[in-house]
Amino acid sequence: AQTVTQSQPEMSVQEAETVTLSCTYDTSESDYYLFWYKQPPSRQMILVIRQEAYKQQNATENRFSVNFQKAAKSFSLKISDSQLGDAAMYFCAYSSGNNDMRFGAGTRLTVKP
Amino acid sequence: DTEVTQTPKHLVMGMTNKKSLKCEQHMGHRAMYWYKQKAKKPPELMFVYSYEKLSINESVPSRFSPECPNSSLLNLHLHALQPEDSALYLCASSQDLLLWGGAKNIQYFGAGTRLSVL
């Protein structure tokens, strides 16, 4: 079974600084999808960024980028120029494409002004 | 429009009550999902509907009964719940499951229904 591990329950970053959230996963599949979702206090899960395993190039969405290391089964999220609105719970998620979305335990990010 | 609408936002029910949660999307998605999320925990998959047919049931107790009347609507019928069923219930949808491609695996979530069972 696929598992997703986020080893940082909480992280803190100063506004305008850069922070990296860690995620590792375990799978025997060769094709799969990885996601980072954000859940602010409003509760709605919001997609931050996604990565297809067959793509070597790391995904980037404005201030958000990933470091995808397929051999190491690592998928970290880098947030640049952190903003107060980035404060939320961040979940790393894995999908084999068969609607078996599995989430990590989450990392609570605090942004200090 | 990437909106998934869930109603009600909050629900309080007794253990003998029957209630329903509703989820609606108009993005043309053909897969819809129910998740249960306890406080400070990640969402846990409960059910998946694909083309209005139940495709995944993650061994959920029968007191939870999903229904997909059409491709835009997903219900979760609740009956004889227990206090430990109190949680945030999230609905999500995604594009065609039968086709392969990254974008089709993106799930869009509603804001959830906060359920309290007394």
Nearest of B36, B2, B40 to residue B114 by alpha carbon: B36
Report pLDDT for B97: 58
pLDDT number for residue B98: 55
pLDDT bucket at A1, cuts 50 / 70 / 90: low
Residue B25 phi/psi, 5-degree rounding, is -140, 145
Task: Look at A35 and B94 and tell me if their CB atoms are within 8 Å.
Answer: no
Q: Percent of chain B beyond pLDDT 90?
A: 70
- Residue A97 is predicted with a pLDDT of 74
Pick B106's closest partner by Cβ from A44, A47, A105.
A47
Residue in A closest to B100 by C-alpha: A97
* Residues A106 and A38: beta-carbon distance below 8 Å: no
Residue A87 predicted with pLDDT over 60: yes
Mean of pLDDT values over B18-23? 97
Dihedral, A71, A72, A76, A78 alpha carbons, nearest 10? -70
- What is the rounded CA–CA span in Å between residue A93 and residue A99? 12
Q: Calculate the average pLDDT of chain B.
A: 90
Strand runs labelled E in chain B: 4-7, 10-13, 18-25, 31-37, 44-50, 53-57, 64-70, 73-79, 87-94, 108-109, 113-117
- B16: number of Cβ within 10 Å: 8
Q: Does the pLDDT at position B32 exceed 60?
A: yes
User: Å from B63 to nearest chain A CA?
Assistant: 22
CA distance B7 to chain A (A): 13
Residues of A in contact with B92 (CB under 8 A): 45
pLDDT class of A31 with cuts at 50, 70, 90: confident
pLDDT in tens, A52-76: 998 889 999 999 999 999 999 999 9
- Here the tokens at position B64 are 């939870």
Contact A33 B50 (CB under 8 A): no
Task: Give Cβ neighbours of residue A110 (< 8 Å, ≥ 6 apart).
Answer: A10, A11, A12, A13, A87
Question: What gap in Å lies between CA A105 and CA B48, rounded to an integer?
Answer: 21
Q: Name the residue with higher pLDDT: B117 or A98.
A: B117
Residue A33 has pLDDT above 80, yes or no: yes
CB contacts of A106 in chain B (<8 Å) are 40-42
Q: Which of A31, A30, A68, A28 is nearest to A49 (CA)?
A: A68
Taking the C-alpha atoms of residue B72 and residue B3, their distance in angstroms, rounded to an integer, is 12
